[in-house]
Amino acid sequence: GAGVSQSPSNKVTEKGKDVELRCDPISGHTALYWYRQSLGQGLEFLIYFQGNSAPDKSGLPSDRFSAERTGGSVSTLTIQRTQQEDSAVYLCASSLLLEGNQPQHFGDGTRLSIL
Amino acid sequence: DAKTTQPTSMDCAEGRAANLPCNHSTISGNEYVYWYRQIHSQGPQYIIHGLKNNETNEMASLIITEDRKSSTLILPHATLRDTAVYYCIVRVAKKGTYKYIFGTGTRLKVLA
């Protein structure tokens, strides 16, 4: 089915490199969310988009993290100068609307490992 | 800061009801409570959500206390495939923006 798709599913990179994680939401979903899940931990909310706009970026862990969304569809989460503590599973979700009682639909995440 | 609190782990015998509590005492009056579960290596799967009234769907029932400060997810006849980590989520509105607060999650183990 046409669920939320994330790529790559796994990414291994060296400390100091930049990485870009991609999320393709469900078609027609206006809201998009990014979360981080460290090993054995719960989900940490990072940022959400309403259309192409991210009203609050304060949940991003540091200024090395940035996110954008274009065309009300695909979103990318970019981490610059990666550090070992960035190793985690990065999950993306989308919902039909931001307002109201719309549930979020999650992808299976990108597992990022920083060597 | 807003938070949700869940027990770390629970066991349930197969075929019995699993009752998973969540405390969300700081929830505001117009925000929903959502429940998700996560099976190893997969993204969270939506189960159910509610505002004030109790809710039921094909997967589970949700009981919300009258003061809305806590809720209980009920899996009426747990199966081995229900073994997962269960999260309750609330949304917090602040200055026109939102944050999504996941609980710590309850690791439910269904025993044969």
A103, closest residue in chain B (CA to CA): B46
Mean pLDDT of B20-30: 87
pLDDT digits (tens, 9 = 90+) for A43-62: 999 999 999 999 999 999 99
Q: What is the pLDDT of residue A1?
A: 54
User: Any chain B CB within 8 A of the CB of A5?
Assistant: no
User: Any chain B CB within 8 A of the CB of A49?
Assistant: no
Q: What is the pLDDT of residue B58?
A: 94
Q: Name the A residues in 75-94 with CB < 8 Å from any B CB.
A: 91, 93
Count Cβ–Cβ pairs < 8 Å, chain A vs chain B.
48
CA B112 – CA B109 distance, rounded (Å): 10
Among A33, A44, A104, A111, the strongest candidate for a mutation testing the B interface, having the largest count of B CBs within 10 A, is A104
Binned at pLDDT 50, 70 and 90, residue B97 comes out as confident
More confident residue, A106 or B30: A106
Q: Which of B5, B32, B23 minimizes the C-alpha distance to B93?
A: B32
Q: Do B49 and A105 touch (CB under 8 A)?
A: no
CA B7 – CA B105 distance, rounded (Å): 7
DSSP-assigned beta bridge partners for residue B23: B5, B70
Q: Is the pLDDT of residue B91 over 90?
A: no
Binned at pLDDT 50, 70 and 90, residue B41 comes out as confident
pLDDT digits (tens, 9 = 90+) for A24-42: 999 999 999 999 999 888 8
Region class of A16: left (phi > 0), else alpha (psi between -120 and 50), else beta: left
Residue B3 near residue B91, CB atoms below 8 Å: no
More confident residue, B25 or A91: A91
- What is the DSSP track for A32-97? EEEEEE-TT---EEEEEEETTB-S--TTSSSTTEEEEE-TTS-EEEEESS--GGG-EEEEEEEES-
